[in-house]
Amino acid sequence: MDLEPSIAIFAGGGARGALHVGPACHICTTTRVTQGRGSSIGAFTKYAVTTGHHEELGDLWQEVRRQGDFMKKNLPFDGVHTLNPLIKWVGGLGWGVPKVPSYVGVFDWQTREHVFWSTHDVELAEALERMRASASIMVIHDRFERDGRFWGDGGHASPLPIVKYKRREWWNQYTGGVHLVLSVPTLDLPDLAPSEVNGPFKQLMAWMDYKNHESVIASVRWYRQLAKRISVPVLLYAPRDWKVAGPTFDSDAKDLREQIDRRIEHGAWMVENRRRLG
């Protein structure tokens, strides 16, 4: 039996992206993803989904755990790292370019706008560069510069990418549903313990958590309004609470491994407790 076509949209969230593993596999086994979008770490989830390698997402997070360089302290802030080792490893997986329309959210630092770059109609090296741009948090990762302009993490303006198409007919083609996968809960603001905001890096990430959560809620509100106008289901997957979501990054290797394990396991809860908007 043919699966119904769907669109899968993945939010940013740093190491919280491990929460995407369960929902991504569920979406790919119950629907036929015909378009994928993602910002920041969601761009990597989207890459696995749109290349037909969702079953290897767990392997990608195993690599994140193993790569010392991924959380390497290479700047005078706690936990600062570079994306280059991860991009190199992902490029060696042999997944190729996406087989369906695929886009990453990128922040334009000049106009302060969220834009989409395609990753399905370019060479693999360029697709990987666009994914790196989408995940490059300014002042934390290597700056991404192109044509004299700076581009950065899509999560700066839209952690959950908003796909604005006015025609209902465009959305109604996704009879398998519009699937929105978050990396933070939709209720409450992050509950940050004092120990989590000591030092400039953690203070920066705490501030970003607050701002990003506001943007996530606004995006969910927009999709809820969309759900009232279209005939296909709009489904939201979100973690249970901030205790499960945890900090965006943790520079302690042991803590990071345990956090990733917990988040991957929690993906089953997110699937079971997904909500229909509208």
135, 156 Cβ separation under 8 angstroms: no
Q: Is the per-residue pLDDT at 254 higher than 80?
A: no
- What one-character DSSP code corresponds to residue 235? E
| Tokens standing for residue 205 | 């990430």
Q: Is the per-residue pLDDT at 195 higher than 60?
A: no
Helix (H, G, I), strand (E, B) or coil at 214: helix
CA distance linking residue 88 with residue 82, whole number of Å: 11
pTM: 0.90
| Tokens standing for residue 128 | 């990987």
Q: Is the per-residue pLDDT at 121 higher than 90?
A: yes
Q: What average pLDDT does the structure give for the chain?
A: 85
Name residues whose C-beta falls within 8 Å of residue 176's C-beta, 6 or more positions apart in sequence: 3, 4, 5, 6, 30, 31, 32, 232
- Grade residue 249 by pLDDT with cuts at 50, 70 and 90: low
CA-wise closest residue to 156 among 207, 190, 101:
207
Residue of 213 and 186 predicted with greater confidence: 186
- Grade residue 173 by pLDDT with cuts at 50, 70 and 90: very high
Q: Is the per-residue pLDDT at 76 higher than 50?
A: no
Residue bearing tokens 């280059």: 84
Q: Is the per-residue pLDDT at 98 higher than 80?
A: yes
Helix (H, G, I), strand (E, B) or coil at 72: coil
Helix (H, G, I), strand (E, B) or coil at 232: coil
DSSP states of 113-138 as a string? Answer: EEEEEESSSS-HHHHHHHHHHHT--T
Cα angle value 239/86/25 (rounded, 5°): 40
Using a pLDDT cut of 90, give the percent of the chain over it: 49
Beta bridge partners of 117: 104
37, 116 Cβ separation under 8 angstroms: yes
- Summarize pLDDT for 127-161 with one digit per residue, the tens: 999 998 898 876 666 678 888 888 888 877 788 99
Mean pLDDT across 235-244 = 93
CA-wise closest residue to 130 among 28, 61, 33, 37:
37
- List of E strands, the chain: 5-10, 32-39, 102-108, 113-118, 144-146, 149-153, 178-181, 234-237, 275-276
